[in-house]
Amino acid sequence: MMKIKPEDYSARTRHVLNHMGISSLEQLANVSPKQILKCRNAGRKTLREIRYILSEENLSLKEDPVSVTPLMKARRTIKNTEARIKLMLLYRHADKLTLREIAEIFGISQERVRQILKYEELTFERHKNNHGERHAAEKR
């Protein structure tokens, strides 16, 4: 019987599991998504997190039609916002993905992707311009 590691879960998911009296992955695998969603504060993110943890051990929720995709695993590993932004920039400029494709990967709207990329590109331009001015001033 594999114990649940609290550090693997967010505070909300830990609360839901404690409320349901679940302490092992085997117990968790015998619970349906509907049962989890009945618990207070449990939602799609909680289910996504639980599905991911179970998938790492080749387990799944009882009667669960949703399987964990490599995309869901990738999202969880990219926790850090800075890393997500770098990945968005790479997808857009190196891989030439469309805004829609990037939005699907990250589970956000196409408009939000456009806003993030525009902000980052403007920040880069400002940094480049400031650095160039400073470099020219140093030469004088």
What's the CATH code of the domain at 35?
1.10.150.20
Same domain (yes/no): 93, 127:
yes
pLDDT digits (tens, 9 = 90+) for 127-140: 878 766 655 556 55
Same domain (yes/no): 129, 86:
yes
pLDDT digits (tens, 9 = 90+) for 4-58: 887 778 888 889 999 999 988 889 889 988 899 999 888 888 888 888 888 777 7
Q: How far apart are CA 42 and CA 16, in angstroms?
A: 7
Same domain (yes/no): 50, 97:
no
Same domain (yes/no): 84, 35:
no
Range of the domain at 61: 6-66
